[in-house]
């Protein structure tokens, strides 16, 4: 009896071990016949690999949606391109050479493809499954929706393998150099979306090769790769048909100046010592062409409370206006607007030259130009949002659109969809879009309309400096916010979106100077005792 019991235990244990050794691609469940493309691409390690149920974790097929369209004659011939999002919600695509049969499929076709026996190989820079017969592809449905996928060019350049063979949109793309009225798509064109440059490739035989270049548009298409001499992947974006181009604008919308920096919590008193830095994109005589600058402070104690029913013109402690009606500045020069302290970091710091200080108001004793109550600080330092907007002219109402705008944080009563909608209007710039570029429809002027901060896709903002809104040694050190980016006046767009670096404007040697907040250099951060606590490289704020 004892031997029988021992043998039974051994047999039971072997059964458990045998079951546990069975390969599964979803732990705890039965093996799916369909391997996610995410996992499929992960099998490739640089050498060709023949696919089978063993190395595919028990699967034999893929189930995906077709994104290729060969009617425009711009995709690599014979490649069926499919994608799925079945693993970790990660979108991945793969190319399958099936010859002329690839032309039979259109975007939105749902297909099942038996890939067992195929060879995973990188051919002409593109990861493909070779050796798949056309009969192995079975269409199981049609007209499946394909979600719009906006990907910044900088993301693609950082990881071209991730986005290869997927359908994506390069949004607000423009060409560098600016195209002439007769330039066409054919060939390789440098496309910039405000994040980086990427190559848009159009075959000379494409049906739309002779189409004229657009000033600003969305470019839908499939991302392919080439392999450089060093083995790195070089991405190129290919449209499928002329319908992959959605024109956004035919003329540039160039702001006269842009916001490039500011100080929210100078060391010492805030009263009369907040200021904003700008850089001019053209020569400006403010006496003949006036402008205005408005700040918004949404700290909990700022009145009136609630959503800003009059937007930037709300007044009280919520918004404060400066009229710019005198002085002049040259293209590419910095200028300043703020309190009459005119120091880069409150008292006992470097003075800002009078010629560069276009408008000064002692906001701690004087109301704003047209609206804005006397206040101890222009910009919130409590964790709630604050913002800065520039306007053409000195009249600012609930419906006036800024020429540039930035926000820090998103706390407080900022936007209500209504009706009527209430909030702070935004400008078309590197962060914001009056119309959602992925939803714009020339036939419907209301589609995608999102003119306010925190409405639709207008949710980007900068972060507070360390310790803001709290207590401790990080408070009251005088952090300057440098919003570095590159704006091309020629192209009429941001070619490198702004990013903010916070750094302390030291009052002890080495003392911060005008060069510290205007030039590109390394800033040594110190604590209140003058001891170095770190270094920052100021990002450039430049016009091109």
- Mean pLDDT, residues 485-489 taken together: 85
Tell the burial category of 519 from Cβ atoms under 10 Å away from its Cβ (0-12, 13-18, 19+).
Answer: exposed
Most distant CA pair in the chain, distance: 108
Least confident of 90-104, 296-310, 372-386, 510-524: 510-524
* DSSP notation for 318-384: TEEEEEE-S-EE-TT-EEEEE-TT-BBTBTTSPBPPGGGEEEE--TTTS--SSS----S-SS--SSS
Top-confidence range, 12-26, 135-149, 379-393, 492-506: 135-149
pLDDT of residue 541: 63
pLDDT surpasses 60 at 75: yes
Residue range 25-39: average pLDDT? Answer: 78
Taking 60 as the threshold, does the pLDDT of residue 544 lie above it? no
Name the range with the highest mean pLDDT among 363-377, 484-498, 500-514, 527-541.
Answer: 363-377
| Residues in a beta bridge with 47 | none
Is the separation of the CB atoms in 245 and 239 below 8 Å?
yes
pLDDT at 11: 43
249 — pLDDT class (breaks 50, 70, 90): confident
> For 241-253, what is the mean pLDDT?
86
SS3 247: strand
Which distant-in-sequence residues (6+ apart) come within 8 Å of 13 by Cβ?
Answer: none
How far apart are the C-alpha atoms of 145 and 2, rounded to whole Å?
Answer: 64
- Please provide the DSSP assignment of 470-517 as one string: S-STTSSS-EEEEEEEEEETTTTEEEEEEEEEEEE--SSSSPP-HHHH
| Mean pLDDT, rounded, of the chain | 89
pLDDT score at 23:
45
Per-residue pLDDT for 3 more than 50?
Answer: no
Q: Tell me: the pLDDT tens digits for 187-205?
A: 999 999 989 999 999 999 9
- Dihedral sign for Cα atoms in the order 238, 242, 244, 249: positive
Taking residue 154's Cβ as centre, other Cβ atoms within 10 Å add up to 15
Average pLDDT for residues 431-437, to the nearest whole number?
A: 93
pLDDT confidence bin for 6, thresholds 50/70/90: very low
Confidence (pLDDT) at 4: 45
Mean pLDDT of 419-441: 93
Residue 475 has pLDDT above 80, yes or no: no
Residue 64 has pLDDT above 70, yes or no: yes
Distant-in-sequence, close-in-space partners of 322: CB < 8 Å, separation ≥ 6: 292, 293, 294, 337, 338, 359, 361, 368, 369
Who wins on pLDDT, 137 or 381?
Answer: 137
Beta carbons of 37 and 92 less than 8 angstroms apart: yes
Q: End-to-end CA distance of the chain: give it in Å, rounded.
A: 91
Amino acid 310: pLDDT: 97
Which residues neighbour 180 within 8 Å (Cβ) at sequence distance 6 or greater?
Answer: none
Query: CA dist 58 to 173, 305, 473, Å?
Result: 43, 61, 58
Lowest model confidence (mean pLDDT) among 29-33, 284-288, 430-434, 505-509: 29-33
Task: Give the model's confidence band at 148: pLDDT under 50 very low, under 70 low, under 90 confident, else very high.
Answer: very high
Contact 425, 456 (CB under 8 A): no
Confidence of residue 419 (pLDDT cuts 50, 70, 90): very high
The domains found in the chain, sorted by start residue, are 29-141 (2.40.50), 153-249 (2.40.50), 253-544 (no CATH)
- Residue 488 is predicted with a pLDDT of 84
Strand-by-strand arrangement of the 79-87 sheet? 49-50, 119-123, 126-130, 90-97, 79-87, 61-66, 110-114, 137-141
Cis peptide bond upstream of 124, omega within 30: no
φ/ψ of 64, rounded to 5, equals -150, 180
Helices (H), 228-295: none
Q: Are 156 and 235 in contact (CB under 8 A)?
A: yes
- What gap in Å lies between CA 192 and CA 205, rounded to an integer? 24
pLDDT at residue 2, as a whole number = 44
Residue 17 has pLDDT above 80, yes or no: no
Residue 61 and residue 39: Cα distance in Å, rounded?
12
Tally of residues, the chain: 544
Q: What is the pLDDT of residue 543?
A: 62
For residue 398, the 8-state DSSP code is T
Cα–Cα distance for residue pair 105/82, rounded to 1 Å: 10
CA dist., res. 307 & res. 298, Å (int): 10
CA distances from 214 to 263, 432, 488 (A): 39, 21, 17
Task: Judge whether 61 and 34 are in contact, CB under 8 Å.
Answer: yes
How does residue 539 score in pLDDT terms, banded at 50, 70 and 90?
low
CB 93 within 8 A of CB 83: yes
pLDDT tens, residue by residue, 126-138: 999 999 999 999 9
């Amino acid at each position: 009896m004892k031997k029988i019991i021992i043998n039974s235990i051994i047999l039971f244990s072997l059964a458990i071990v045998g079951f546990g050794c069975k390969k599964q691609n979803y732990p705890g469940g039965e093996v799916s016949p369909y391997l996610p493309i995410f996992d499929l691409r992960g099998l490739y390690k640089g050498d060709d690999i023949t696919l089978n149920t063993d190395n595919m974790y028990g699967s034999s097929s893929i189930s995906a949606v077709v994104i290729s369209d060969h009617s425009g004659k711009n995709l690599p011939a014979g490649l069926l391109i499919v994608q799925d999002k079945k693993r970790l919600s990660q979108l991945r695509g793969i190319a399958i050479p099936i010859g002329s049969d690839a032309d039979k499929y259109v975007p939105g076709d749902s297909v099942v493809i038996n890939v067992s026996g195929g060879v995973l190989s990188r051919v002409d820079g593109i990861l493909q499954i070779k050796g798949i017969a056309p009969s192995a592809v079975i269409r199981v449905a049609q007209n499946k929706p394909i979600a719009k996928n906006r990907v910044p060019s900088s993301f693609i350049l950082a990881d071209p393998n991730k986005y290869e063979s997927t359908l994506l949109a390069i949004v607000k793309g423009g060409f560098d150099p600016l195209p002439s009225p007769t330039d066409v798509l054919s060939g390789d064109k440098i496309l910039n979306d405000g994040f980086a440059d990427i190559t848009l490739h159009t075959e000379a035989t494409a049906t739309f090769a002779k189409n004229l270049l657009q000033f600003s548009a969305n470019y839908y298409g499939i991302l392919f790769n080439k392999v450089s001499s060093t083995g790195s992947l070089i991405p190129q974006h290919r449209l499928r048909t002329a319908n992959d181009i959605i024109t956004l604008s035919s003329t540039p919308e160039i702001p006269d100046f842009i916001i490039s920096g500011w100080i929210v919590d100078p060391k010492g008193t805030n009263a009369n010592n907040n200021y904003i830095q700008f850089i001019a994109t053209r020569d400006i005589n403010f006496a003949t062409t006036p402008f205005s600058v408005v700040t918004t402070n949404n700290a909990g104690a700022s009145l009136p409370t609630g959503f800003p029913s009059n937007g930037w013109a709300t007044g009280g402690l919520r918004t404060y206006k400066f009229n710019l009606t005198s002085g002049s500045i040259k293209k590419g020069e910095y200028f300043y607007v703020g309190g009459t302290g005119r120091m880069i970091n409150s008292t006992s710091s470097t003075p800002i030259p009078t010629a560069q200080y276009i408008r000064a108001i002692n906001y701690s004793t004087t109301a704003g130009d047209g609206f804005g109550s006397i206040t101890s600080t222009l910009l919130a330092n409590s964790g709630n949002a604050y913002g800065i907007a520039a306007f053409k002219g000195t009249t600012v109402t609930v419906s006036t659109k800024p020429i540039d705008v930035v926000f820090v944080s998103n706390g407080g009563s900022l936007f209500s969809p209504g009706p009527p909608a209430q909030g702070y209007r935004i400008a078309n710039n590197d962060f914001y879009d009056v119309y959602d570029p992925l939803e714009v429809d020339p036939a419907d002027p209301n589609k995608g309309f999102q003119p306010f901060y925190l409405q639709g896709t207008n949710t980007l903002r900068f972060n507070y400096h360390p310790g803001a809104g709290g207590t401790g040694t990080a408070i009251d050190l005088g952090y300057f916010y440098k919003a570095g980016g590159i704006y091309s006046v020629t192209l009429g767009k941001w070619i490198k979106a702004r990013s903010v670096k916070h750094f302390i404007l030291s009052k002890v040697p080495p003392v911060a100077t005008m060069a510290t907040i205007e030039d590109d250099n390394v800033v040594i951060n110190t604590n209140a005792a003058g001891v170095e606590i770190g270094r920052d490289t100021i990002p450039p704020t430049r016009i091109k």
